[in-house]
Structures are given as structure tokens and as C-alpha cells.
Structure 1
Amino acid sequence: MVVTMDYETLLGGLKAAHLDTGTMISPGLARLLACQAGVIPVVLGGGSQVLDVGRKRRFHSEVQRVALGVRDGGCTTIGCDRAASWCEAHHEVAWSRGGGTSVEGGRLLCSRHHHLAHHPSYDTTHHPGRKISFNRRE
């Protein structure tokens, strides 16, 4: 699958993205797909001329996911009891903002809370014990 969006949209902008089929998708869905996919960034110049194609490891490895599960025990959102096997690995610093794929820089979130972590209408608050909560922006 190929998702095309500009850099500002990847970082939180509101422009729609589109698939290689021509289907338009919301910027939030595009960011979520970028978080869960193997991403190869392509830098385009004027007239869609390809200037650079890069590659970077995006997914946490199986060993990293096991370590996250042992450390976090499940979803790290306050009040959520989803087990580690139902969670997704999340980058504390978004990969699109230069975050690395590591145990130290990751945390487990259930699908619902992973969506909120990438939703532009929500802020994340960090609490003691590696717990987080989400608050709707005013």
C-alpha cells in the first residue's frame, strides 16, 4: 500500500492523504497507518521528481515486543486493563519526528488508546509509573 501525504500532515496537519488507488483518507488515518507500517520516506522535488528514497526500521522486533510486555504488563493508559497480547508497540517520540524503535523509547497501548495517541484532538499526560492519560484539547 502506498500512502502519500506531505510532511506537515504527517506531523499533525489537517490535509487529507491519498492511497495509490486514488482513495482519499483522513490525516489521522494516514498517521496511524504510518505508525503501524514499514515506511519508506520519499522526498519529492518540484513536479514530483524523486530526490531521495530512504529506509528505516519502523516496527519493534518480536524480542522488543516481549520486553515491552514484560516491562509494561499491558496497556500503559491509566484505568485500562488490556493485556500485553492485545496491545500495540507505540513510539514515545513519533517515528516521523525522529523517534527510534527501541524498548526504552516505546510503550504498549491497546488499539483504542493507540488511536488516541495519534489523534490531533487529544493531548497525552505522563504520570508516575510509566502511566499515561489522554485529554481532549479545548
Structure 2
Amino acid sequence: MTLRNQLNDNLLKVKDKVLKAEEAYKYCFSLIQSFFANELIDDDLNRIFALKKVEIESTYEKLEKLTDYYKAFENHKDIISGNDRTIKNTFELLIELKDEFNNLIAEIQGFAIFLENSLKEKQ
């Protein structure tokens, strides 16, 4: 596999992480919306969900930042693929970016598990 093909492959892997993170956020926000739609929830749980919503929103900013990094690589892949050294350096950066997305996805999934369990307890 050529370095250019490896670059494209790594970009696709990061894009997959972007999509997974976005889906996880959508799911968390749908859980929060369904929670607040239930009027029989007590005040303590309301406060907890409001705090979780703020936490999720703050991590969403991180998703946007990481996504911007990915888009920069994607938009400039023709320039990056100009020489082997640049491609190899980009590989290292893409690995770090993919790791950042993995950490973010794990954090979002943790939020989702908490929200799911809280909703189950109150139903």
C-alpha cells in the first residue's frame, strides 16, 4: 500500500470516529430531551440531568474542535501527500487525533449509560 493510500485510509478511520462521536452526542441529547419531557421527575434528578447536559455541551465543543482538525487534514490531503516525510508526520498526528476521538467517545458513552440508568430508575 502506498503512503498516499495509507493517508487516505487513516483519514477514513478518523472520519469514522467523527461520525461515531456525533451519533453518540445525538443519542445523549435525545435521552436528555426525553428526560425533561417527563414531568413526574423529582427536583434532585432534574438538577443532576441539568448538570449532565452542561457537561455534555462542554464536551461538544471539544468534538467541534477535533472535527475542525480532521477537516483541515482532509481538505489539505493533496498538499500533505506531496512528500513522504509530510505524510509520515501526518500519520502521527492522525493517530493522536484518533485517540482523542476514542477518549471523547468513551466519555460520551459514559454519559449515555448514566442517563439511560437514571431514566430506567424513574420509569
TM-score w.r.t. length of structure 2: 0.24
More strand by percentage: 1
From the CA coordinates, give the structure whose radius of gyration is larger: 2
Give the helix-richer structure, 1 or 2.
Answer: 2
Instruction: Say which structure, 1 or 2, has more relative contact order (CA 8 Å, 6+ apart).
Output: 2
